[in-house]
Chains A and B, each alone.
Chain A
Amino acid sequence: MLLRIDDASRVPIHEQVAGQVRAAIASGALAPGERLPPARELATGMSINVHTVLRALQTLRDEGLVDIRRGRGVTVTGTAPELAAISEAARSLVADARRQGMSDADIRRLVDGAL
């Protein structure tokens, strides 16, 4: 699994980390059931605070992509690959729509229209 972060980007680091892990899950670099390296080791490797990494992991947990369990660490859930792809698609949609100048309300109306 390759994680890249960019200080120069306006995207907060924890979101970058979450996005990178999401991409790794979507691409199959991280398989369901696989255990992520400890947050401490990832943080040291990227020269960032361990809490930044933990925040990213909590975001992914809230999205249902990983499980966080005491003693078992952070593991990829069974449905993660599909969820990750969809989550990335949603983010792409929002980014594209914002680039077009759409407001959040516009975007919600767009998604409602598709439901």
Chain B
Amino acid sequence: MTSQNRRGSGLVVLALAGLALAVLPWLMFWQQLPANLPSHFGLDGRPDGWMSREALFAVILVFDLVGAIGLVTLAMRAHRMMVAPATLTGFLAGFFLGLGIGMGMASAIPGLGALNTSAAGALGPIVVVATSLLVGAIAARLAQASARKPRRDDASPPAPALTLAPGERAVWTGSASQPLWWALGGALIVGGVLALILTREFWGWLLIVVGLGIGATFARIRVQADHTGLTVRYTALAWPSTHIRLRSIQRATPIDVIPSQWGGWGYRGTVLVAGLAAVVVRKGPGLRLDLTDGRVFVVTVDDPEGAAAVLNAEVARRPGSGGEPASGEE
């Protein structure tokens, strides 16, 4: 089983099974489908845009193929990739495939989503979200199993630690900023305003909200490391924030974050579903947390050495800790 996973065959099976599952509802219900299907819904849940069933099938098939091709490509390359990027890529490709499966089910299965505008139609979005996350999670785990395991002789980067006397406490605060996020948010807002003016559709508002949200989240993050663990706070949001409890942390290491290795910019992955999450606002120095259950969390932050030093020191003096011995002391 291990060697099979190393060849990524699980991912290929997932891709083929996913494609089959994506096409199945269409095959089963094609005769019963009307010539035109809703392809766009207004704010009240009633459809206000239609496509021919052929066109809708084709559009959704594109999602299926993007996801499936992504999984197959990953299957061929995973054994040469490190665990983190492989897991994230698997999650993304699986998510796309799951999205296509869910949309196909919501569109083609009578009563599930698109054909009814009554309460039964509410199931549609739930199905889409559920299938996306589920297939994403499965793909992430398969990719994780297929990726290159760190070899015993891979040099472990040094994990700095402070020496803290029993009565001593330390708190480290830092930040990472990338003003371009405001520019991106601004562009989306402008696009949304244009969309509202030109088309009067609700997704103009969506663009504006997303634009505001992106700028308000990633333009400048603040990071605090102390005895409670690590906390990441987002630019203009008091909530949500990201908190990793100290007891979940095994080891903190300063690293250089190259966004492509961590799935790109923004909030990548999910610790819950993909076993790995990264907050990447810019390229450059960052902090990597290896958690006690094997999961990994990364956050870009300036001068991460201090944060790592505090966390490793607190981990080391945690009662009953099996914390990593520090390789350097301050």
Contact = CB atoms under 8 A, between A and B. Distances in A.
B151 to A, nearest CB: 34
A69 B176 CA distance: 24
Contacts of B323: none
A100 interface: no
A7 B168 contact: yes
A48 B173 CA distance: 16
Contact of B228 (A1, A2, A8, A44): A44
Interface in B255-269: none
A6 B168 contact: yes
A42 interface: yes
B161 to A, nearest CB: 13
A2 B170 contact: yes
A19 B165 CA distance: 19
A12 interface: no
A50 to B, nearest CB: 13
A2 B306 CA distance: 7
Interface string A44-72: 11111000000000000000000000000
A33 interface: no
Given A1-B174, A2-B306, A2-B310, A37 B168 contact: no
B320 interface: no
Given A2-B310, A5-B168, A8-B165, A42 B227 contact: no
Contacts of A42: 171, 173
Contacts of B168: 4-8
A7 B168 CA distance: 6
A47 B164 CA distance: 15
A41 interface: yes
A106 B207 CA distance: 70
Interface in A1-29: 1-9
A47 B165 contact: no
Nearest to B164: A4
A48 B170 CA distance: 11
Interface centre among A2, A3, A41, A44 (most CB of B within 10 A): A2
Contacts of A3: 170-173
B224 A2 contact: no
Contacts of B245: none
Interface string B49-78: 000000000000000000000000000000
A46 B174 contact: no
A47 B169 CA distance: 8
Given A1-B174, A2-B310, A46 B167 contact: no
Interface string B284-326: 0000000000000000000000100110000000000000000
Closest 3 pairs between A and B when the two form their complex, measured CB to CB: A7-B167, A45-B171, A45-B226
Interface of B: 162, 164-174, 222, 224, 226-228, 231, 306, 309-310
27 contacts: A2-B171, A2-B306, A2-B309, A2-B310, A3-B171, A3-B172, A4-B162, A4-B164, A4-B168, A6-B165, A6-B168, A7-B167, A7-B168, A8-B167, A9-B167, A37-B173, A37-B224, A42-B171, A44-B228, A45-B171, A45-B173, A45-B226, A45-B227, A45-B228, A46-B169, A46-B226, A47-B169
